[in-house]
Each structure stands twice: as structure tokens, then as C-alpha cells.
């Protein structure tokens, strides 16, 4: 049977690490635990499970720490995990079945379902989402095709039915937003993926201060000719929110027009609703909240096309004295929450 190295980076995880490692007993053959500066019993707990515990000076770069952990793995496959994850008995069995299949099939990467993501607001909009979790440690290159042969470069990726339960102690939003700011201050380029995740993190968990600190970056991004239309729309949504915070109608108009180059997003409609509500123009606020809920789609935070505009509509109709309509929108919002 193939062997699996568990690779994990940790810091002050004494509350959850034991549960995680217990759930992986008998599945992984090696545990590589990289500690980035724990001041609690994390390292002691890891060592009690027979893990190889390595110290790593934190640089603010998660990829660097994960690469360090991967470099010490020696098994056929690497399972990347966090301390706040665990497998229940049903999914332990699925993992063991997968381990047998890996012996027979040539698989480079396995994706697993990450569950319970919405307990704390993060950059993820869905409670159950596939993520790459298991990787072949050494990938051999092979040739294909009987003539005009070529090396196979695309990895063989399998989507499994394994579900990983995520039990975070707290939201990581503050830490993540600070990491984004540090990367930008250090002159690091944010890829398209990270650009979207920064904007998403702001909308889903950022404070007013977090938005204001992001203004310079997203202003530059909105006029960067190397950014694509999706990124410009993301930047425009962030900057429109800042314009509402700063009571700046000129900038709000400018960025809402940028967003409207293609179909307007629910986020932008919601910002316009907030602006007009703040100005006391309830009828106009209703128009934009309605568009956010029913006519447009969200690009960053699904709640901006779901519960938020419906609750805002309820607030508007209550202000106009229409309690029946307000209750209808509140019921809709509640039903959406129950469906998540």
C-alpha cells in the first residue's frame, strides 16, 4: 500500500491539534509538524503522536512555510492539513479506501470536500467546497501518443467524496488582511487569485478601517492595464464601498460606471442602496437593494445578492410604514439562511 506523509504548519493549536491527529491515526504513515512560534503545548502534543516537529521562523508567507514542511516529507503522497480540521469515522474509512486505490491508479492529486466553512466569515462563499489536499510527492514524467509523442504535463486529478470537517477556533480575517497588507508593502505582486481573495476578505470580514487601508492598492489596481476586467470590477466594488464610507458621490459614480461596463454586480447595487438610504432617499434605496437581490449576481460575497439586500429592503419598507412588506423580506432572508 502507498504511504502518506502528513504535512502541517501550526502555531498555538493545543486546543485542536489532538483531535486532528487522532482522526488521522492509521491513515498517515509520517507526521511532519512545522511550528511557527507556538507559546503553548502545541509542540509537546505533536511530539506525543510521534510527529517530526520542526521549527520555522515565521516570515508572513504561508507558502514558504508549507514548502518547508513538504521538503521534509518522505512518503509516496503528501496530505496537507491544518490543525482545525478533522475526519469523522465515515470519512476515515473513505480515506483508507482511497489509499488502496492509489496503489492501482496513477493519480497525482486528490481533491476533498472542505466542510463547515461558513461558521466564521472567510473568503469562501460555500459551506462545502472541493480543495486539493493530497499530492504525489515525486511525480514521474512519462511520454504519450504512438507518434509525435510528447511528455504528459497535466497532472491526473481526482475528486474524492471525502469530507473534511473544519472547526476553526476563531475567524482568521484580521490575520489574513494583515498578511495582504504586508505583501503589498513589501512590493509583492498579488496574482489574479489573490486580488480576488483580498477583495472578498474585505467584503466578508473587513472593518471600515480595513477598507480604508486598502484604498491605495485598489485605486492603483483599478487603472492597471495588466489587470483584467474581473479584477477591475473587484477593485471598483471595494472603492465604491470606500466612497460610501467617505460620503464621496463623485467616486461612487465613477466606480459604479466601471462596474456597469458589463452586468452590474450585486455588491455595487448594494453600495448604491446604502448610499441613498444614508441620504434619506428610501425609494431610490429600494430600487438598488431590489436589483442587488433579484436582478444581479454577486462576484465577491454571495450574501450581497442574498440575505443582506432582503434585510435592507425590510428596513426600508419598515421605515415607510409598510410592516407587511418588511416581514415578507425578512422571511425570505431567513429562508435563505436556512438553505445555506
Q: Which domains does the chain have, with CATH numbers?
A: 4-166 (3.90.550.10), 173-339 (1.25.40.10)
> Residue 140: its pLDDT value, please?
75
- In order, the DSSP letters of 118-150 are GGS--S---SEEEEEEEEESS----EE-SSS-E
Average pLDDT over residues 141-161: 81
* Residue 278 pLDDT exceeds 70: yes
Host H or E run for residue 30: strand 30-35
Average pLDDT across the chain, whole number = 92
User: What value does the mean pLDDT take over residues 133-147?
Assistant: 82
**In 3D, which of 171, 194, 137 has the Cα closest to residue 7?**
137
Q: Over pLDDT 90: what percentage of the chain? A: 79
In angstroms, what CA-CA distances link 259 with 144, 221, 287? 45, 14, 17
Q: Please give the pLDDT value at position 111.
A: 95
Q: Among 84, 85, 67, 72, which residue's Cα sits nearest to residue 12?
A: 84
Name the pTM for this structure: 0.74
Whether 233 has a pLDDT exceeding 60, the answer reads yes
Q: Is the pLDDT of residue 133 over 90?
A: yes
Grid coordinates given for 131: 480543495
- pLDDT of 119 strictly over 70: no
Which residue stretches of 49-172 are H helix? 62-71, 89-104
Amino acid at each position: 500500500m502507498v504511504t502518506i506523509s502528513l504535512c502541517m504548519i501550526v502555531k498555538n493549536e493545543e486546543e485542536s491539534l489532538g483531535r486532528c491527529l487522532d482522526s488521522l491515526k492509521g491513515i498517515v504513515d509520517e507526521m511532519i509538524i512545522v511550528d511557527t512560534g507556538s507559546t503553548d503545548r502545541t509542540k509537546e502534543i505533536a511530539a506525543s503522536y510521534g510527529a517530526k516537529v520542526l521549527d520555522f521562523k515565521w516570515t508572513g508567507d504561508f507558502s514558504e512555510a508549507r514548502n518547508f514542511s513538504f521538503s521534509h516529507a518522505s512518503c509516496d503522497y503528501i496530505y496537507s492539513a491544518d490543525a482545525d480540521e478533522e475526519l469523522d469515522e465515515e470519512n476515515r474509512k473513505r480515506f483508507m479506501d482511497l489509499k488502496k486505490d492509489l496503489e492501482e491508479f496513477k493519480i497525482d492529486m486528490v481533491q476533498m470536500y472542505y466542510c463547515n466553512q461558513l461558521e466564521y466569515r472567510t473568503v469562501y462563499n460555500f459551506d462545502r467546497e472541493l480543495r486539493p489536499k493530497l499530492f504525489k510527492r515525486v511525480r514521474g514524467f512519462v511520454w504519450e501518443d504512438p507518434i509525435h509523442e510528447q511528455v504528459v504535463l497535466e497532472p491526473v486529478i481526482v475528486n474524492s467524496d471525502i469530507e473534511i470537517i473544519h472547526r476553526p477556533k476563531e475567524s482568521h480575517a484580521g490575520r489574513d488582511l494583515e498578511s495582504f497588507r504586508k505583501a503589498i508593502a513589501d512590493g509583492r505582486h498579488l496574482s489574479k487569485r489573490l486580488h480576488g481573495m483580498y477583495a472578498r476578505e474585505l467584503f466578508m470580514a473587513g472593518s471600515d478601517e480595513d477598507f480604508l487601508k486598502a484604498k491605495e492598492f485598489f485605486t492603483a489596481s483599478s487603472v492597471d492595464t495588466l489587470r483584467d476586467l474581473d479584477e477591475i470590477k473587484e477593485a471598483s466594488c471595494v472603492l465604491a464601498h470606500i466612497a460610501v464610507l467617505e460620503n464621496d458621490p463623485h467616486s461612487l459614480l465613477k466606480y459604479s460606471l466601471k462596474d456597469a461596463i458589463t452586468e452590474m454586480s450585486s455588491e455595487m447595487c448594494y453600495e448604491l442602496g446604502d448610499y441613498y438610504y444614508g441620504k434619506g432617499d428610501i425609494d431610490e434605496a429600494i430600487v438598488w437593494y431590489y436589483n442587488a437581490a433579484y436582478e444581479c449576481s454577486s462576484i465577491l460575497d454571495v450574501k450581497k445578492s442574498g440575505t443582506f439586500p432582503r434585510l435592507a429592503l425590510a428596513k426600508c419598507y419598515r421605515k415607510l410604514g409598510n410592516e407587511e412588506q418588511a416581514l415578507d423580506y425578512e422571511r425570505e432572508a431567513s429562508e435563505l439562511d436556512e438553505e445555506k
